[in-house]
């Protein structure tokens, strides 16, 4: 240490703003000191965390707890104190099936129809979503004209509310909608998209891909841009055909991002509700009824509001989501390592 440092500089006159801030912050000094004396230095960490813990507790953990209690009680009353304890009755009736492969043989046939539809939807949607997002990202990663414009265009639907997206597409696809208008214009016959179960499922998948693809495209695009350009030049010097560049260099190096996208798509697809509900209402019949819609209808939309059964179904769905989230975290952590 040098003994003769520069002389202490004159402290500049404080500005009004900084003095004001100090005055306000100063108001907190006393209570803070008092709290710290009460809880100790380590305890202060929890004091600062308290607002968040409170928020999460109130709006996340408490509802989960109430839901759990709901699933174990019966009746149509909303207040827990007025609901009789029924144990695992709801779970048992949900699981009561002649054959799990045939929803019609189940006591809660709509629940199992929902499970089966959700599985189908998830499978189709994952393939379609990841496929289109990958192709779009690969195209947008090339030096094409208007690249910035297209990147924005593909991302815009993500910013729209799912309900708005579904309403727009409903308007296009309904009996006298835009698409049927176009079909009749070229001399074709109207197709009743929401009356044919196959078409309804197709459009449910299509619309959700249309609405969310931009987000996943963006993740994949970021992954593609992280691949160093000189690897492609080295591949070019090595005389690699374009298809081989894709399969041997681009895809292996993009793989970590692809896995992340796959899992995210999976987690979202399992929870699908709003778009499909607004678009098809779960129909025709129960052809596009998803698990979440079943929960919603059982609890709120049916004549008899069976909160207990709905709560039990959502506990089961929650368990699946928990497992998927663990998978996602495990993958993310393995990627970081």
Partner 1 sequence: MAGLVLKGIAKSFGPVEVLRGIDLEVANGEFVVFVGPSGCGKSTLLRVIAGLEEVTSGTILIDGQDVTAERAAERGLAMVFQSYALYPHMSVYRNIAFALENMRLPREEIEARVRRAATMLRLTDYLDRKPGALSGGQRQRVAIGRAVVRDPKIFLFDEPLSNLDAELRVATRKELAGLHAEIGGTMIYVTHDQVEAMTLANRIVVLNKGRIEQVGTPLELYNRPANLFVAGFIGSPRMNLISGRVGPDGHFEMPGGALAQSGPFLPAGLAPGAEITLGIRPEHVLPAGGEAPDAILTVDLVEQLGSESYLYGTLPGGAALTLRSPLEDPARRGESLPVRFERHRLHVFDAAGLALRP
In whole angstroms, how close is the CB of 287 to partner 1 at the nearest point? 43
Distances (CA, A) of 56 to 24, 143, 267, 276: 29, 46, 21, 29
How far apart (Å, rounded) are the C-alpha atoms in residues 325 and 331? 10
What string of DSSP letters covers 31-90?
Answer: HHHHHHHHHHHHHHHHHHHHHHHHHHIIIIIHHHHHHHHHHTB-SS-SSGGGS-B-TTHH
Shortest separation between residue 228's beta carbon and partner 1, angstroms: 7
Work out how close the CB of 259 gets to partner 1 at its nearest, in angstroms, rounded to a whole number.
Answer: 14
Which of 249, 331 has the CB closer to partner 1?
Answer: 249
| Distance in Å, CB of 33 to partner 1, minimum | 52
Nearer to partner 1, 191 or 253 (CB): 253
Give the CA dihedral 147, 151, 154, 158, nearest 10 degrees. Answer: -170
Q: In terms of CB distance, is 98 or 252 closer to partner 1?
A: 252
HSE-up (13 A, CA, CB side) for residue 248: 13
Residues that bind partner 1 (CB under 8 A): 228, 230-231, 233-241, 244, 248-249, 252-253
Closest to partner 1 by CB, 197 vs 256, is 256
User: Phi/psi at 227 (nearest 5 deg)?
Assistant: -80, 120
Query: Is residue 67 a contact partner of residue 314, using CB atoms and an 8 Å limit?
Result: yes
C-beta closer to partner 1: residue 55 or 255: 255
Contacts of 249 (CB under 8 A, 6+ apart): 227, 231, 232, 235, 240
> Is the Cβ of residue 147 or residue 190 nearer to partner 1 in the bound state?
147
For residue 97, the SS3 value is strand
Q: How far is the CB of 243 from partner 1 (least distance, A)?
A: 11
Minimum distance from residue 164 beta carbon to partner 1 (Å): 42
Q: Taking the complex as a whole, how short is the minimal distance between the CB of residue 224 and partner 1, in angstroms? A: 15
Count of CB atoms within 10 A of residue 257's CB? 20
- Taking each helix axis as running N to C, give the angle between helix 62-71 and helix 307-336, from 0 to 180 degrees, rounded to the nearest 10: 130
Closest CB to partner 1 among 82 and 236?
236
């Amino acid at each position: 240490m040098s003994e003769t440092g520069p002389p202490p500089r004159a402290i500049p006159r404080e500005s009004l703003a900084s003095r004001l801030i100090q005055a306000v912050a100063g108001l907190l000094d006393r209570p803070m000191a008092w709290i710290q004396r009460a809880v100790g230095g380590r305890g202060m960490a929890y004091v600062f965390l308290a607002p968040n813990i409170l928020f999460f507790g109130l709006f996340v953990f408490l509802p989960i707890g109430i839901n759990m209690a709901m699933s174990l009680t019966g009746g149509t009353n909303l207040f827990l104190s007025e609901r009789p304890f029924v144990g695992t009755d709801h779970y048992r009736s949900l699981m009561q099936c002649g054959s799990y492969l045939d929803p019609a043989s189940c006591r809660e046939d709509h629940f199992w129809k929902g499970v089966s539809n959700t599985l189908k939807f998830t499978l189709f949607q994952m393939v379609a979503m990841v496929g289109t997002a990958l192709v779009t990202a690969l195209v947008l990663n090339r030096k094409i004209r208007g690249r910035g414009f297209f990147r924005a265009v593909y991302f815009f639907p993500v910013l729209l509310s799912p309900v708005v997206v579904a309403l727009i597409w409903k308007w296009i696809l309904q009996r006298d909608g835009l698409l049927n208008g176009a079909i009749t214009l070229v001399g074709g016959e109207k197709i009743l998209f929401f009356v044919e179960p196959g078409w309804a499922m197709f459009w449910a998948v299509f619309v959700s891909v249309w609405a969310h693809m931009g987000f996943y495209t963006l993740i994949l695009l970021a992954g593609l841009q992280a691949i160093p350009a000189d690897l492609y030049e080295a591949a070019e010097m090595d005389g690699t055909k374009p298809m081989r560049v894709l399969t041997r260099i681009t895809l292996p190096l993009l793989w970590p991002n692809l896995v992340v996208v796959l899992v995210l798509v999976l987690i979202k697809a399992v929870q699908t509700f709003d778009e499909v509900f607004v678009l098809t209402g779960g129909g025709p019949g129960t052809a596009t009824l998803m698990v979440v819609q079943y929960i919603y209808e059982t609890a709120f939309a049916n004549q008899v509001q069976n909160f207990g059964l709905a709560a039990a179904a959502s506990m089961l769905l929650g368990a699946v989501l928990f497992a998927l989230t663990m998978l996602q975290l495990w993958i993310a952590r393995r990627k970081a390592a």
